[in-house]
A and B are shown apart, each in its own frame.
Chain A
């Protein structure tokens, strides 16, 4: 539940060209089962399409699932576009095959958390509930 008392709205997105959607679909289902409203974009989304979805859906968080190695191009672009649109209250998380060095770099950019293979859906649910709740309570 967000601080505003509504169910958390989360966009699960597959940026880029890779079609590995097993993880994204599992996460989407687990978040829904945990009571969140989940918008799954489907495959092959451009950063622009994703940001548009985030804004239109008034999402609390966006989870980007990337297994193509293109995360250092696609994630910065999404973060940048969110900023350009003055969206600063959306929690951005990334999931996929992300090497350690890149995890640190992504967090520097403003990604709240990076989930690599083996992360449990429970940990992801907890993280989102926690961080979305916290952000919503922060003074604007």
Chain B
């Protein structure tokens, strides 16, 4: 007998028949990344025996979180990424954020610093202090963190190709304040593979760049017990247009590649793996993001324990920072971005993040104003203190849909692992442009969906009436570029040229040889060598990098 609308279904089959009575809306039911979604998930998608594989919080494979107590013990670190102008301006912004209840610092560097160029380089013109803070020398680094207790606040630095140089500046800046490097806690990004894949800020060819990363991991494992030498980052991969599955797969594969290289160097996996951390994007497709984080923890734990033989549970624990998706922000009706960011942040929290950056609503227009940053921080505080989502651990654990989607993310990740292995590993895949092409294809596909109207972006291709009008944006004084160039000239004029020459000679010898390069970088920093000078010296030995432009 055909089911009727007034009939109450008593079995899955009856429900399915009842479901079929009404036509579905004419929209694609799939995640942002294209994973098809069923109308309903039940124990058929997640049978009771699968529950055993999930584990408890703090228990292998950490699907439900890396710590036994999660947010009931300690909230995530609220860490807003900041940086603009010279070290002076950014130091002021850092203090502002700490005064407003932020619990960690995160440094955004300007483009020249990220590319290893000094502020007075011809190619730096117009870029100094624009998209982050300009740091050329140890003196700048000292100013940047002036008055901030570096043994109490953890500091994150988002820099990759020249990460080892910035770390040397940081260590020497702290040393001058009488703080030993063993007391410094924080993270430096250093994830060079994802630079070639997505963010495209490089200084050296792939092989010496990998050597530099490995040198840092090795050196930090001996000298900086509280420091995370690499933050393996999917954020930029996702921003470049990757799907959630691509973000997951490429990021984890990058991480596993660093592990392989460090082990090959002779470092015990348990001596460095506990200090590898991750950085993921939080896009707008809520459940897909949560599933991604849960799958990521499980894959990392399994690979570290079973593939690399790590013995310490700390080595299996994938701890991560999350940032809401810059690419999801719209220039149209920018206040809508407050809502997008809140939902994305919530996904990060329900996914068990250890720290979080929430974007400001004006960031599709310019760097954020202080008011916009405060709302972004308040968004995290509202999630933490008002919504109650922190009261229990992994509140979505066991949900048929979430568990099933977590499994699916894991499968998609391993499919990519296989494809990368067939190419000969991630370093080889990066050199052949495989992840780059996959991401460009996905980015184009998403744009096509938006333009065809298949995917609605509120305020952009639907509901476009009533723009908020003029949003005030942060104005960065072009005079700051001149100010920074003056600072650099003054620093360069006040140096012991013999010590400097000696430091460069030692640096180039270290680069050409096999020994760890970190001690030579520290000496160069102590001799007041600038970042650009150090990079140029290393490029003399290692060369630089050019990408084959493809689209």
Contact = CB atoms under 8 A, between A and B. Distances in A.
A17 B460 contact: no
B240 A21 contact: yes
Given A43-B547, A97-B364, A70 B239 contact: no
Interface string B365-379: 111000000000000
Nearest to B472: A99
A50 to B, nearest CB: 13
Interface residues of A, number: 37
A18 B126 contact: no
Interface string A89-127: 000000001011000000000000000111011100000
Interface string B319-357: 000000001011110000000000000000000000000
Interface string B527-551: 0000000000000000000111111
Contacts of B366: 69, 97, 99
Interface string B415-444: 000000000000000000000000010011
Contact of B331 (A17, A72, A117): A117
Contacts of B332: 118
Interface string B234-249: 0000011100000000
A22 B112 contact: no
A52 B259 CA distance: 44
A127 to B, nearest CB: 15
B130 A25 contact: no
A32 B124 CA distance: 32
Secondary structure of the B contact surface, majority rule: loop
B549 A41 contact: yes
Given A17-B123, A69-B131, A70-B127, A99 B240 contact: no
Contacts of B201: 17, 19
A40 B547 CA distance: 12
A26 interface: yes
Contact of B451 (A12, A22, A73, A120): A120
B115 A17 contact: yes
Contacts of B444: 25-26, 29-30
A25 B131 contact: no
B111 A22 contact: no
A25 B127 contact: no
A24 B114 CA distance: 20
Given A72-B126, A73-B126, A121-B447, A99 B327 contact: no
A42 B337 CA distance: 30
Contacts of B476: 69
B199 interface: yes
B364 A117 contact: yes
A69 B367 contact: yes
Contacts of B447: 26, 30, 121
B117 interface: yes
A28 interface: yes
Nearest to A15: B126
Contact of B440 (A12, A25, A41): A25
A17 B239 contact: no
B130 A70 contact: yes
A46 B460 contact: no
Contact of B330 (A17, A20, A42, A117): A117
Given A17-B201, A29-B444, A46-B123, 15 more contacts: A17-B112, A17-B117, A17-B123, A18-B131, A19-B201, A20-B239, A20-B240, A26-B241, A26-B443, A42-B548, A43-B200, A68-B127, A70-B127, A97-B331, A99-B473
In order of increasing CB-CB distance, the 6 nearest A-B pairs are: A73-B126, A19-B200, A42-B549, A17-B111, A69-B130, A70-B126
15 contacts: A17-B123, A18-B111, A19-B199, A20-B240, A21-B200, A22-B239, A29-B444, A29-B551, A40-B551, A41-B549, A43-B200, A69-B127, A99-B473, A117-B329, A118-B457
